[in-house]
Amino acid sequence: MKRQGPLEDIRIVELGHVIAGPLSAALMADFGADVIKIEHPRGGDMMRELGPKAEQDGVGIWWKTIARNKRILSLNWKADKGRAILRQLVEQADVLVENFRAGVLERAGVGPDVLHEWNPDLIILRISGYGQSGPMVKKPAFGRAAEAMAGIPHLTGFEDGPPIHPGFPAADSTTGLMGALGVMMALHTRGQNGTRGQVVDLAVFEALMRLIDYHVPALTGAKISPMRNGLRQPMDFAPGGMFRTRDGTWVTVSAANPQTAQRLLRAVAGDAFADDPRFADMASITANMSAFFDALNTYITERDLAEVEAAFEAADAVAAPVLSVEDILAHPQINHRGAIASVEGEETRVIGPVPQLGETPGALRWLGRAMSADSRTILQELGHTEAAIETLYSEGIIGLPQEDNT
């Protein structure tokens, strides 16, 4: 019988806000981790209000997915009684996730030294703009600043135009992914050779810079400085680019090796052009990429998508249409993979758990819940009586679900 997920025995306390920290916790919650997300009773995570609202219930669509599979506790953890509750949670937790500016936990009296005094085996994921030390440690940072620091806008756009940010929060999202990876490695190491808890220190610019990967070795190793190059690759290291077919579909083209490039060139420009010494090998093709690009552009713009796809498939090359969200939702391969997930009673659909595990798959159990949705249940699990819970509520230490207080 399949388990509920490979992380079902892991409890995570999330002090995160906005994207990077919460996404790390959400990725682990997809695979069964019990994530307790803490929000302040007087105002929750800004992701509740950021962006469009679902027509069905008026809840922010970004909140629905970033807080999916999480239990919600409203707690003023900086007050003495709230700090005591935080300690109870930490004592029973495997992981704590936070993405405040460096030093916030320490000033609140719950830095790693205190947290590890409460629970020596705790893994602490600390996400901040520039890391926990260094000359920029006190500077505020947001995702776009991190993207600029990592260099991605420098590589995106036209050479004579401005640098362009990608169409999604690339720095925050890649940081969330890398943060989850860091937690997994720390959990794997825990208990080996006397290792107990530890801090995973992650700056928001670092994950994106690591995933770009090639720009630093290009300059230091090959003395090439990559530069944005419009519809082509920054360094034109493989034949391809972005083109528009006669019937108005944008396609991205890729030919990853010399043999494929030759077949493709022969298909789109004829034998004489393909046999030109300028295209004899990949080094020659790279040196004459503008001519290759122009040949591709002429061929594709004069033909409809179906003809282009057939010709490229015959050449064992790729001409992939650029999908809109509407296309994604209707795509047979995406639907076959179950990549779009939903829960009963919810019109809002989201991206399903990734990756797919054969024996212990992830699952979408619920979307982001209302403020304080699980406060009462979580406090009861910690041993607080109904009378104590009501007192904590009256003192502003916790929040309770709205329906409990009408």
Q: What percent of the chain has pLDDT over 90?
A: 81
Residue 165 has φ and ψ, to the nearest 5°, of: -75, 150
pLDDT at 404: 61
Instruction: Tell me the C-alpha distance between 360 and 368, whole Å.
Output: 23
| Domain co-membership, 347 together with 323 | no
| Domain co-membership, 62 together with 206 | yes
| Domain co-membership, 50 together with 181 | yes
111-147 tens-digit pLDDT = 999 999 999 999 999 999 999 999 999 888 889 999 9
Beta bridge partners of 71: 36
**Region 393-399 average pLDDT:** 97
| Domain co-membership, 198 together with 96 | yes
Instruction: Tell me the C-alpha distance between 11 and 146, whole Å.
Output: 29
| Domain co-membership, 100 together with 177 | yes
22-32 tens-digit pLDDT = 999 999 999 99
Q: What DSSP assignment string belongs to 39-70?
A: EBTTB--GGGTSS-B-TTT--BHHHHHHTTTE
Name residues whose C-beta falls within 8 Å of residue 381's C-beta, 6 or more positions apart in sequence: none
**How sure is the predictor about 104, in pLDDT bands with cuts at 50, 70 and 90?**
very high
Residue 278: other Cβ atoms inside 10 A: 12
- CATH label of the domain that carries residue 198: 3.40.50.10540
Does position 203 have pLDDT exceeding 50, yes or no?
A: yes
pTM of the model: 0.93
| Domain co-membership, 160 together with 56 | yes
pLDDT at 235: 85
Position 229 in a domain: no
**Region 344-351 average pLDDT:** 97
- CATH label of the domain that carries residue 287: 3.30.1540.10
Q: Would you call 294 a catalytic residue per the annotation?
A: no
Instruction: Tell me the C-alpha distance between 353 and 249, whole Å.
Output: 30
| Domain co-membership, 51 together with 160 | yes
* Residue 192 DSSP label: G
Range of the domain at 265: 240-327
Query: Crossing angle for the helix pair 20-29 and 170-189, nearest 10 degrees?
Result: 50
pLDDT at 243: 95
Whether residue 261 contacts residue 282, with contact meaning beta carbons closer than 8 Å, is answered with: yes
Which of 269-283, 311-325, 360-374 ranks highest by mean pLDDT? 360-374
**Region 297-316 average pLDDT:** 92
| Domain co-membership, 57 together with 192 | yes
Q: Which helix (H) or strand (E) holds 252?
A: strand 250-254
- Please report the beta strands in 267-352, taking only residues with DSSP state E, as ranges in sequence order: 318-321, 340-341, 350-351
pLDDT at 403: 64
**Region 330-338 average pLDDT:** 97
Active-site residue, selected from the candidate residues 172, 294, 316, 374: 172
Does position 373 have pLDDT exceeding 60, yes or no?
A: yes
- Please report the beta strands in 26-178, taking only residues with DSSP state E, as ranges in sequence order: 34-39, 70-75, 95-98, 123-128
Instruction: Tell me the C-alpha distance between 313 and 35, whole Å.
Output: 45
Tell me how many domains the chain contains: 2
Last residue of a domain, one of 268, 294, 327: 327
* Residue 136 DSSP label: T
| Domain co-membership, 44 together with 123 | yes
